[in-house]
Structures are given as C-alpha cells and as structure tokens.
Amino acid sequence: MGPIKAVASCYMKMLNFSGRARRAEYWWFALFLVLAGVAVQVALAMNVMSDADFAAAMTSPGAAQTWIKQNPEALHLAGYALAGYIVLGWLPQLTVTVRRLHDTNRSGWYIFMPFLAYLAAVGGAILLTMTMAGNGAQLGVIGVMIIPMVASIRFLIVLCLPGTRGNNRFGPDPVPNRKRRAPAHPAFAPQLPADERAQMAAERQSEIRAYYQTHVLGSIQKA
C-alpha cells in the first residue's frame, strides 16, 4: 500500500472503528499528518511575519486581548481551524489507530493504555508525596513517573507489530497472502496450520531429493 492509497483509505474510513488496518496504512497516514502539520506551521509563521500588527499584539497578554477585540473574526477563524483539525486530523487518526490495534488482535480500548498509565503514575506520585518525605519521596516520584514513558514505548511497539495472519476476531486480514515466518526448527512445525505443514514437508523433501541427486548420486556414478 502506497502513501496516496493509505491516506485515501484513512479518510474514506474516518468514521469506521471496525475492521483492521495494516502497518503501511497507519504509518503513511502518520507521516502525512506530520508533513501537513509542518506545512501549516510554516504558512502560519510566514503570515505572522508579514502582519506587523499581529506580531506586535503577541508581545503581551494585554496587547493580544486588544488585538482580538479589534479583530473578532480571528476567533471565528480559530474555531474553523479547530473543527478542521478534528475532522481532517484527529478523527481519522483515532479510527486508523483503533483498526491498527485490531490488526494485532487487540481491542481498540487498548488505545487508553498510555493515558491510564499516566493517571496511575500521577496518583502514585501524589501518594508518595503524602506518605514520604525528603529524598526518598523525590526518588519514588521519579521512579513512578517512568511508568507512562514505558507505557508509551510499549504502545508504539504494538503499533509497529505485524498483524495476525488470516482472519482474527476483528475481521479479515488486510494483507492478502501474508507470509508466515517459517519455524527455526522442524520440532515447531506442529504449531503451523495443516496446509502449511504439508507445504513445509514437501519443500524439505524436495531439498533432500535435490541434495541426493547432486551430491550422493553423482558421487556413486563417478565411482
């Protein structure tokens, strides 16, 4: 799946929380949002630099309030910009993230895992400051606040994992003919489906036959 197809798929499914999304769909859209955000920020910065009154108004809160009163249409534009971000950025990113989790056979509720870890860390930090004092409390708070960082890294790793092969509880495989990694040793072959075990056995028999004809039979004929 290329970038154009991935972005188009995310927007066509921006209200769809069911089904699965392959890694290419998720990460191409993530890159698109990053580039779009950079482009918007650059355009906004150029506009601010070209408007001397706006740049001067941003030097202090009082000047900013005065400028907003003199330019009430700016609030309307800010509202439109927020609505545009929700529709064009936040909503399709939310739905494709849920579908990406589905592709790894995880519930979409897993998306709240980093946030819940952060709440648990904040609660733990508050409890430590209330029950402990001195350097012990500070070290404890630092240790507890590592939890959301670990949770975020874990969540990122999950988004990078390959999807489950074939159908899972959330729908069909979005990657046609997804290849399963061959076992490192024949002893693990029973873990494979019957058709793949048969194909693996046929391939090994073919390799043995080719080795016999090339090395063993050739040596016998020469002798």
Query: Can you say whether residue 171 is alpha, beta or left, with left for phi > 0 and alpha for psi between -120 and 50 degrees?
Result: left
For residue 192, the model assigns a pLDDT of 58
Token pair 């980093």 is found at 114
- 158-193 tens-digit pLDDT: 999 988 888 889 988 888 776 666 555 555 555 556
Where would I find the H helices in the chain?
Answer: 3-12, 23-50, 52-57, 61-70, 73-85, 91-103, 113-131, 135-160, 194-211, 217-222
| Integer CA distances (angstroms), 107 to 13, 29, 100, 153, 158, in order | 18, 21, 10, 18, 12
Judge if pTM exceeds 0.85: no
- 76-94 tens-digit pLDDT: 777 888 888 888 889 999 9
Q: How many CB atoms lie within 10 A of CB 117?
A: 18
Q: How far apart are CA 106 and CA 98, in angstroms?
A: 9
Bridge partners, 168 (sequence order): 171
Angle between helices 113-131 and 135-160 (to 10 degrees): 170
**74 neighbors 47 (Cβ within 8 angstroms):** no
Q: How far apart are CA 216 and CA 186, in angstroms?
A: 23
Q: How far apart are CA 114 and CA 46, in angstroms?
A: 36
**90 neighbors 150 (Cβ within 8 angstroms):** no
Q: How far apart are CA 25 and CA 10, in angstroms?
A: 7
Task: With a cut of 80, say whether residue 203 has pLDDT above it.
Answer: no
Percent pLDDT > 70 in the chain is: 73
For residue 44, the model assigns a pLDDT of 76
Q: How far apart are the first and last CA of the chain?
A: 56
